[in-house]
Chain A
Amino acid sequence: MPDLIGLLSYGTFFLVFATIFALVVLGLNLQWGFTGLFNVGVAGFVAIGAYTSALITAPDYPDQLGGLGLPIPLGWLGAMATSGIAAFIIGVAALRLRHDYLAIATFGVAVTLQLVALNAKGLTGGPFGLQFIPKPFAEVIDDNLAWNVTYLAVAAALLGLSYVALERLVRSPWGRVLRAIREDETAAESLGKRAFRFRLQAFVIGCMLMGLGGALYAHFVGYIAPEDFLPILTFQLWTMLIVGGSGNNRGAILGAFVVWALWTLSGNALREIVPSEYQARAATLQVVLIGLLLMLILLLRPRGLLGEETVVSRHMRDEAADTAEE
C-alpha cells in the first residue's frame, strides 16, 4: 500500500509545519494576545533564527562566513539568542512609544532583513540562501517517513514545553501585570519605567520563540532562502493567531493548525483547478482568500475560535486604575 505511506508521509510533513507555526504563534500570542504589542515583522525574527542556526551548525560554507559545524542544539540556542538580541534593540527604540510605532519599526526590521538576506552574500548566501543545513538524527534514521515522525516528535515536544512554560508565565503575577498594562493605558503609564520593562521582556521572549521556530524550519527543510521569509509569512502567522483567538495559548495552537490546513487545502485545490500557465496568478488569489478570511474574522468574530480566557480579575484592574489616579 504505497499510497498509505505517501499519505502518512504527507500528513507528518503537514503536521511538522503546523507545529513549527504553532510555536511561532505562541510567541506572537505572548506579544499581542497578552501584552498588546503589535509585531508586524514576525517573518524577520523567524528569519534571524533560521539563518543563525544554519550558520552555526552547517558545514563550512566556501566563500562566506559561517558554517561552523557545531551541534544542532547550539544552533537552536543561538537562534533564540540572536532573535532575542534583535528584539531587545528594536524594543528599546520603539516600546516606549505608541503601539503603532512598534508596528512600523518591526515592519522595518522585516524589510531590512529581507534586503540583508538578498544582498549580504558573504553572510546569507544571497538569493540562493543557505544549503546543507544538517538534519538531526539523519545519520541514525535513514527512512524518510521515520525521520519525519522523529522530527515531528521533537518539534511537538518543544511546542509542548513552550506551551506549559507560557501558561505558567501568563498565570503568574508577571503575566497579570502584562494584561493589566494591555488593558489600561493609564495604568501602564502610571507604572512608567516598569511597564516598559515588562513589555520589553514579553517582546523579547516572544521573539525568541519566533527565532526557535525559524531554526526548526531550517533544519527540517534543509535549506533556506530569502523568499521563505516574505511579508506573507507574517500575515499567515497573524491570521493563525486571530482565527484561533488571541490571548489564549490553546487558541494560538489551534489557529496554527486550522489556518495551515486551510492554506494547504486551498493551495492544492487551486493547483488542481487552474491550468499550469495560470498558477502564478492563482497563487495571488489564495492570498486574497486568506486575507478575506482574516478580515471576516476581525469583523464578525474578533475573539477568534476560542477567545480569551478571563484570567484577569476585576480586582487587579481596579488596583491598576487606582495607582493611575494617584
Chain B
Amino acid sequence: MLQLVADGFIIGSVIALGAIGVTLVYSILRFANFAHGELLTWGAYLAWTALIGIVAVWGPAEPLGPFSFGWPLLVALAVSAVATAALALLVDRLLFRQLRRHGNAITLIMASFGAALVLRNLLQFIYGAVPEYYSREIQVAIRLVPRDVLGGLRITPDQLFVLGLTAVSVVGLHIFLTRTTVGKAMRATSVNPQLARVTGIDVDRVIRATWIIGAVLAAVAGVFSGLTVQLRPQLGLDLLLPLFAAAILGGIGSVYGAVVGGLIVGLAESLSVPLVGAEYRAATAFVVLIAILLIRPTGLFGERT
C-alpha cells in the first residue's frame, strides 16, 4: 500500500511537471497542445545525447553519492532544458505563430496533433526504436518503512531525487509567477489578453516565456521518466493522456491545480494496478478524465471553462 502511494507520487511528479506546461499553454495560447508530450520525449533524448557527448569528452564520471548518475547527467539535463526550449520556440515560430496570425483558433489543435506525429517520428528516425537508459548502474533501494507496516516502503535514491527536484521546480515556478514582472504578465495575459496589451505587455514575449517554461519543465519531466523507467520514443505519447487528465482535473489554467492533478492521476494509476492489472494502468487517466468532465468540468481549482 505505502509502496503504491510512493510509486504514485513518483509518476505523479512526472505528470505534474508535464501538466504545468499543458495548462500554461492552454491558458495563454488557448489551445490543447497535443505536441506537449513530444517535448518530454525530446527533452529525455536530448539529455541522453548531451550525456553521451559529455562522457565522450570528459570521460565517464563516478556516480554522485547514492545516485545512479554522476554530474554529467545534471549538466546534460541543463543542456536539454535549453535545447528543448529552443525546439518549442522553433515549432511556435514555424507553425503556431502563423496560425495565430490567421486567427483560426481550432486549427491550432489540429496542427499540434500533426506536429506531435512529425516530432515523434523524426525522433524515432534519429534515435531508432530501441529503449535506452541513462545509466546501467544497479541501485540499492533504501528501506524507509519495514515490511510489516502497511506493506513497507522501499525507495531508490534516484526516486528521491525526482521527488526533491520536482518540489524545487514547483516552488521556483511559484516564486517566478508571483514575484517577477514576466510571471505576473503571464498570469495577467491568461485571464485577459486584451487588457494585458493595453497595459503595455508585449503578448509575444509572454508567449515566448510560456513556451520556455513549459519546455524546460517538460525536459525535466522527460529526464525523470527516462531515469525512473527508460527512454522510449513513445514516452511522451503514453504520458499525453495523463497530462491532459491532470491539467483538466486541476482546473485548466491553474498551475497549482496541474501539480495536484498530476499527483492525483499518478496515485490513481499506481493504486489501480492491483485492481485492474498493470496493462490497464494507462486507462486510469481516461477514467479520471471522463469522471471529471461529467462531475466538475471546471476542475478542482478552476473558475473558467
Contacts and interface: CB of A to CB of B under 8 A. Distances in A.
B280 A119 contact: yes
A40 B31 CA distance: 14
A198 interface: no
A125 to B, nearest CB: 15
Given A38-B109, A299-B99, A284 B290 contact: no
A238 B106 CA distance: 14
B289 A108 contact: yes
25 contacts: A38-B110, A40-B34, A94-B293, A96-B297, A97-B293, A100-B109, A103-B109, A104-B241, A105-B290, A107-B34, A107-B244, A108-B285, A111-B241, A112-B282, A115-B279, A115-B282, A119-B279, A231-B117, A235-B114, A238-B114, A288-B121, A288-B122, A291-B115, A295-B95, A302-B102
Given A100-B26, A295-B114, A298-B110, A105 B282 contact: no
Interface string A130-160: 0000000000000000000000000000000
A281 B245 CA distance: 32
A242 B110 contact: yes
Interface of A: 36, 38, 40, 90, 93-94, 96-101, 103-105, 107-109, 111-112, 115-116, 118-119, 231-232, 234-235, 238-239, 242, 280-281, 284-285, 287-288, 291-292, 294-295, 298-299, 302
B111 interface: yes
Given A242-B110, A287-B121, 5 more contacts: A36-B106, A99-B109, A108-B290, A119-B277, A235-B117
Given A111-B241, A288-B122, A302 B279 contact: no
Nearest to A119: B279
Contacts of A284: 121-122, 124-125
Contact of B113 (A40, A109, A119): A40
Contacts of B114: 235, 238-239, 291, 294-295, 298
Contacts of B277: 119
Contacts of B275: none
A281 B111 CA distance: 23
Contacts of B245: 108
Interface string B1-30: 000000000000000000000000010000
Nearest to A283: B121
Given A103-B109, A107-B240, A242-B110, A97 B282 contact: no
B305 interface: yes
B241 A108 contact: yes
A118 B240 CA distance: 19
Nearest to B102: A302
A238 B113 CA distance: 10
A111 B110 contact: no
Contacts of B107: 298, 302
B286 interface: yes
A204 to B, nearest CB: 17
Interface residues of B, number: 44
Contact of B104 (A90, A93, A109, A302): A302
B125 A299 contact: no
A186 B125 CA distance: 45
Given A36-B106, A38-B110, A287-B117, A281 B128 contact: yes
B64 to A, nearest CB: 35
A291 B283 contact: no
A148 B124 CA distance: 36
A285 B125 contact: yes
Contacts of A36: 106
Given A99-B106, A295-B111, A111 B286 contact: yes
Of the candidates B98, B111, B121, B282, the one having the most CB atoms from chain A within 10 angstroms of its own CB is B121
B268 interface: no
B142 interface: no
A82 to B, nearest CB: 18
A55 to B, nearest CB: 20
A237 to B, nearest CB: 11
A284 B305 CA distance: 37
A10 to B, nearest CB: 26
A182 B117 CA distance: 27
Contacts of B244: 104, 107-108
Nearest to A235: B117
B221 interface: no
B265 interface: no
Nearest to A36: B106
B124 A104 contact: no
Nearest to A111: B241
B129 interface: yes
Contacts of B31: 100
B129 A280 contact: yes
- 10 tightest Cβ-Cβ pairs between the two chains A and B: A291-B118, A284-B121, A100-B32, A108-B286, A287-B121, A284-B125, A119-B279, A294-B114, A112-B286, A104-B244
Nearest to B288: A108
Interface in B120-165: 121-122, 124-125, 128-129
B38 to A, nearest CB: 12
Interface string B67-104: 00000000000000000000000000001001100101
Contacts of B240: 107
A16 B237 CA distance: 31
A288 B125 contact: yes
B248 interface: yes
A239 B110 CA distance: 10
Contacts of A294: 110-111, 114
Nearest to B304: A98
